[in-house]
Amino acid sequence: MLESILIVGCGNMAGAMVEGWLADGLNPSRLTIVDPLRTEGPGGMPVLPALPEDGTFDAVLLGIKPQNLAEAAPGIAALVGEGTTVLSLLAGIELAVLQRHFPAARARVRVMPNLAVALGKAPIALATDSTDEALAAAVVGLMQPLGTPEWIGEDKFDLVTALAGSGPAFVYRFIDALGAAATRLGLPEEQARRLALAMVEGASALAAASPHDPGKLADMVASKGGVTRAGLDVLDNGEALGRVVIDTLRAARDRSAEMAREARD
Ligand SMILES: NC(=O)C1=CN([C@@H]2O[C@H](COP(=O)(O)OP(=O)(O)OC[C@H]3O[C@@H](n4cnc5c(N)ncnc54)[C@H](O)[C@@H]3O)[C@@H](O)[C@H]2O)C=CC1
Ligand SMILES: O=C(O)[C@@H]1CCC=N1
């Protein structure tokens, strides 16, 4: 049902999806990639500099920036027929706006992954204006090799964009901050960075594998009156970490909502 896929815009995000699909064994002949700024895609895939003149595709994956949509949409729409599902990665571009640009499509689906799709480890939020259950199952099947797809009401998409889409950047900042702090407190910089990254990798793998929630795991690390508790007391004091994280997600969510308003009007 989603055999042939035209990918329009193959930068960081769509490129990572292609990497994930190829790693999972997807037949590259299913993908046609268009990007004026790339000569080669992941795995040496060919990239067309412009949209093909004609062709029939089961899906069109939009991997361009939201601000490029209005200009690119008419050309893309010419390749979107009644059998084509539009899959959009674009932050803050609502289904209603996709409907306006691609009225002939079989369905429109918002997809919010993150760069961990390359490793098959991204949460992938999905929202659609279609009620076709077979199509919904096909979309989930297409996304499954890239991580953990799940349907989410579109009213939560701004928040999910902040958490699942932008989230890795927030975690990378925290890893950087751990390394920088350890450097400032006396470890050689390279060693501090290496230890911080290895620690986060192991801790998140354990959190994913453990039957315990992260709060319980934190308590399992912290001995009463010991070393970890002294550090946690700083993070917990006045909910210091909790407050900065709420402010972070709120700012990202609100920017997504603002982008949605701009694209709507
Ligand atoms: N980078 C990320 O982690 C995430 C990005 N997204 C969404 O993915 C989309 C792409 O973001 P990135 O990959 O980060 O941007 P990017 O700038 O790396 O990639 C965009 C690509 O689109 C190409 N492009 C521009 N106009 C085009 C056109 N008319 N036809 C074909 N290709 C065209 C550019 O040459 C570029 O390679 C955005 O809409 C963003 O909201 C969603 C989730 C996470
Ligand atoms: O920063 C952005 O706008 C996109 C959406 C989520 C991640 N990157």
pLDDT in tens, 95-150: 999 999 999 999 999 999 999 999 999 999 999 999 999 999 999 999 999 999 99
Q: What is the ipTM, given to two decimal places?
A: 0.99
Final residue in a domain of this structure, among 154, 181, 200: 154
88 lines ligand 2 (CB under 6 A): no
**How far, CA to CA in Å, does 221 sit from each of 91, 204, 230?**
37, 14, 12
pLDDT at residue 265 is higher than 90: no
If asked whether residues 173 and 67 sit together in one domain, one would say no
> Closest residue (by CA) to atom 3 of ligand 2?
91
Are 136 and 244 in the same domain? Answer: no
CB 152 within 8 A of CB 124: no
> What pLDDT was estimated at residue 92?
97
Give the residue numbers spanning the domain of 51.
Answer: 5-154
Does the beta carbon of 47 sit less than 6 angstroms from any atom of ligand 2? no
Residue 89 has pLDDT above 90, yes or no: yes
pLDDT band at 24 (very low <50, low <70, confident <90, very high): very high
Alpha carbon distance 242, 175 (integer Å) = 17
Query: Is 90 exceeded by the pLDDT of residue 56?
Result: yes
Q: Which-ligand-closest: CA of 62?
A: 1
CB 79 within 8 A of CB 111: no
- Bridge partners (DSSP) listed for residue 18: none
Report the half-sphere exposure of 262 (CA within 13 A, side-chain side). Answer: 13
Does the residue 171 lie in any domain? Answer: yes
- Mean of all residue pLDDT scores within the chain: 97
Q: Distance from the CA of 61 to the center of ligand 2, in angstroms?
A: 16
